[in-house]
Chain A
């Protein structure tokens, strides 16, 4: 059962630090998980600089830049939603969370267009077109699909979690006295944003 505001008046011990540190520990494992892929990227890019250079020309800089701006804006809206709920403005908070969800969905739709465009050109793992490319180009596209794919999966999970937060907020289960759920959701969303901040220059800007 959700605690009532009276429960926060000193009846129970509430561990603000503990609630947050659990989430941070999870994010540390996520950082090392993505870090492994960034390490692979840097080693192969070092080995095949010309191929990576040429392959990155196939990326759509416009969609990539728009998606970066969308994700940065969605980080703003989720951050604002936490301040809103703490100031007691529940409806504004829910609206800001909804904006974050919509931004995430637009990001994924753009990603869908990017991927299908590449697949129609024949650039997908193990495709006949791909097998004729240089080794470095194959590696670039493999890393592209894995890294943006797993990042996209994180965006999808984030959207699902924020959807629950909207319901919690409207139902009054996220209150100024206890907003750890929303706070930790925000931390997750910002982390996913940071991963994209690095993916963007590495895949779109190295031409």
Chain B
């Protein structure tokens, strides 16, 4: 394709194969840790720890696989706004559920 040389358009960040494989490795290690934590049984804490690990995994997918790390402030802000909205809905519901 000879036309590529004349294209000056702004292209999104190109992530290399290596970065993706590293992220995938980290995700599998975290999967192993989360299973180990569940097996060890820290009673009430294991749920919290497992949800924290899940959030780290989700964050890795979001930042690298979904390229959020390389996006502008506008899109990052929108994602934060949506997650905050969901967190607020959950917090408001539990502010009721907890004190019943």
Please list the residues of chain A having a beta carbon within 8 angstroms of any beta carbon in chain B.
5-6, 8-10, 14, 16-17, 20-21, 24, 28, 31-32, 35, 38-39, 42-43, 46-47, 61, 65, 68-69, 72-73, 75-76, 79-80, 83, 86-88, 175-177, 183, 186-187, 190-191, 193-194, 197-198, 200-201, 204-207
> Complex formed: what's the CA distance from A194 to B61 in Å?
7
Main secondary structure of the interface of B (DSSP, over half): helix
- B71's nearest neighbour on chain A, judged by CB, is A20
> Complex formed: what's the CA distance from A80 to B98 in Å?
45
Whether B20 contacts A79 by the Cβ 8 Å rule is: yes
Whether B38 contacts A201 by the Cβ 8 Å rule is: yes
* Proximity string of chain B (71-100) to chain A, C-beta cutoff 8 Å, 1 when within and 0 when not: 010010011001101100110011001100
Among A8, A24, A72, contact of B31 (Cβ-Cβ < 8 Å): A72
CB distance from B100 to the nearest CB of A (A): 9
Among B11, B15, B47, B89, contact of A39 (Cβ-Cβ < 8 Å): B89
Query: For residue A76, which residues in chain B have a CB less than 8 angstroms away from its CB?
Result: 20-21, 23-24, 65
Whether B6 contacts A9 by the Cβ 8 Å rule is: yes
> Complex formed: what's the CA distance from A6 to B46 in Å?
56
> Complex formed: what's the CA distance from A28 to B77 in Å?
12
Q: State whether A83 and B14 are in contact (beta carbons under 8 Å apart), knowing that A5-B3, A20-B75 are contacts in the complex.
A: yes
Query: For residue A42, which residues in chain B have a CB less than 8 angstroms away from its CB?
Result: 90, 94
Interface size for B (C-beta < 8 A) is 52
Q: State whether A72 and B38 are in contact (beta carbons under 8 Å apart), knowing that A8-B7, A32-B82, A177-B4 are contacts in the complex.
A: no
Q: State whether A16 and B78 are in contact (beta carbons under 8 Å apart), knowing that A8-B7, A9-B6, A205-B35 are contacts in the complex.
A: no
> Complex formed: what's the CA distance from A47 to B54 in Å?
23
> Complex formed: what's the CA distance from A125 to B7 in Å?
57
* Proximity string of chain B (40-52) to chain A, C-beta cutoff 8 Å, 1 when within and 0 when not: 0000001100110
Query: For residue A43, which residues in chain B have a CB less than 8 angstroms away from its CB?
Result: 93-94, 97
Query: For residue A46, which residues in chain B have a CB less than 8 angstroms away from its CB?
Result: 94, 97-98
Query: Shortest 7 CB-CB distances between A and B: which pairs?
Result: A205-B38, A201-B50, A76-B24, A5-B3, A35-B86, A28-B82, A79-B65
Query: For residue B15, which residues in chain A have a CB less than 8 angstroms away from its CB?
Result: 79, 83
Q: State whether A197 and B57 are in contact (beta carbons under 8 Å apart), knowing that A14-B9, A75-B65 are contacts in the complex.
A: yes
Whether B7 contacts A177 by the Cβ 8 Å rule is: yes
> Complex formed: what's the CA distance from A201 to B23 in Å?
20
> Complex formed: what's the CA distance from A158 to B62 in Å?
17
CB distance from A47 to the nearest CB of B (A): 8
